[in-house]
Amino acid sequence: MSTVNQELFEKLEKLATEQRNPKTMGIDLADAQEIVTLINNEDQLVAQLIQTRLPQIAKAVETISESFSIGGRLLYFGAGTSGRLGVVDASECPPTFGSNPEQVQGIMAGGEEAMFVAQEGAEDSEEIGANDVDELKVAPPDIICGIAASGRTPYVHGAIKEAKKRGCKTIFITTVPKEQLDIEVDHILDVPVGPEVVMGSTRMKSGTAQKMVLNMLTTGAMIRQGKVYENVMVDLQLTNKKLVERAKRIIMMFTKISYDEASELLELARGHVKTAMVMQLGGLNRQEADVLLKKNGGFIRKALLEVNS
């Protein structure tokens, strides 16, 4: 065994996610009910672990929100399951929050093809990670968020190191204890889930933990950008019939107008739900509503308070 392979083997051997789970030693002989019970029991531990990391996650949310406020991007870098979760989270932001597709992006080791078929070797190169950062012309106030269950993926390390050289803020999401990391970042979000139900299968508890943290990061930052009114997403993009009907329902819910009136109002607002709501609730025309929303950072509630003050 070469020296490099020996070092990699020894690091892998020590990872918490690569240990055997004593609670599932007999899962190979379990029936279906026992299998799903064992998996569910382990999954319940994930939310409890994340609860212990809420202060760190909240700080990361504020950092992302501040970046968004001055035109920065949130760029996820990952490989395998971790990378795919970043791509999924990023792709859901435009239809959910009406954000520019450039604002949150997921970058996979191996490129788009790696979403469906593993690209051998791509995740093992720090240079490829650094090159991908370079291709995206990363610069402050962009934020780079590395996602790696093991905490050691070279591709992710390369991206983070290059981003730091460029003066960007960095976030690292991992499911091993931060003590096992050998990289410096601004925000470490470690959720040490321990041994997986099936040894090394980090698409399970690790994947669940990462998805939960990603949900918090983008949802929290978007809420801080005025993308939600009360607890309803009001900045959605009307990219299909379902979302058009959802937009009308949201307008009806808050303004108490009829379906036909909501349809007409949405058209007058050029398909922008927030504008339509401020128009109706504030008694304003489209231009006045747009100006007021912009003045108040996109927050409907703040805009309406100004109208009624």
Q: Which of 7, 5, 14, 15 is nearest to 193 (CA)?
A: 15
> Which residue's entry shows tokens 């509630």?
301
| Number of residues in the chain | 309
Is residue 123 among the annotated active site residues? Answer: yes
Q: How crowded is the C-beta side of 216, counted as CA atoms within 13 Å?
A: 22
Distance CA 61, CA 104 (A): 13
Distance CA 129, CA 163 (A): 10
Q: Which of 18, 42, 62, 92 is catalytic?
A: 92
Point out which residues pair with 106 in neighbouring strands. 76
Is residue 102 among the annotated active site residues? Answer: no
Distance CA 192, CA 15 (A): 10
Q: Using CA of residue 99, residue 186, residue 43, residue 108, what is the dihedral sign? A: positive
Q: Which of 62, 66, 112, 123 is catalytic?
A: 123
DSSP string, 70-94: TT--EEEEE-HHHHHHHHHHHHHHH
Catalytically active residues are: 92, 123
